[in-house]
Amino acid sequence: MTKQAAVEALQEFRSRIDAVDRSILLLLNERTRIVEEIGRVKQKAQMPIYEPKREDQVFDNVTRHNTGPLSTGAVRRIFERVIDEMRGVQRAQMEAKDGGSSC
């Protein structure tokens, strides 16, 4: 493979990655909006914010459905980050000192 051909192939792959990333971004924001809805429901119903079992369900869902090439560990670490950010969103929403369930 010539360097020129490689450069062109990389450009194409990176353009595809950028499109995938924008799709992931849309889904992350969609997820955040649902988390905000959950926060509102919990506030209205005066339900407890923190539900650790729900976080386990989130990890189960993604690791059970993972067919690779990402490893289970990688998937878990990425969703730990996602959940942590959602926790921050819900915490800000609740204006409470305790972190809310992020899922």
Q: Which one of 48, 68, 95, 98 is in contact with a copy of itself (CB under 8 A)?
A: 68
Q: Which one of 56, 57, 72, 96 is in contact with a copy of itself (CB under 8 A)?
A: 57
| 62 to 6, 27, 37, 44, 56: CA distances (angstroms) | 34, 14, 21, 29, 10
Least distance CB 54 / a copy of itself (angstroms): 7
Could you tell me which of 67, 90, 70 has the C-alpha nearest to residue 78?
70
Please state, as a whole number, how many other Cβ atoms lie within 10 Å of the Cβ of residue 35: 20
Least distance CB 38 / a copy of itself (angstroms): 5
List all residues 6 or more positions away from 95 whose beta carbon is below 8 Å from its beta carbon: none
44 sits near a copy of itself (criterion: CB under 8 A): yes
Residues binding a copy of itself (CB under 8 A)? 1-3, 5-6, 9-10, 13-14, 16-18, 20-25, 27-38, 41-42, 44-45, 47, 54, 57-58, 61-62, 65-70, 74-75, 77-79, 81-82, 85, 88-89, 103
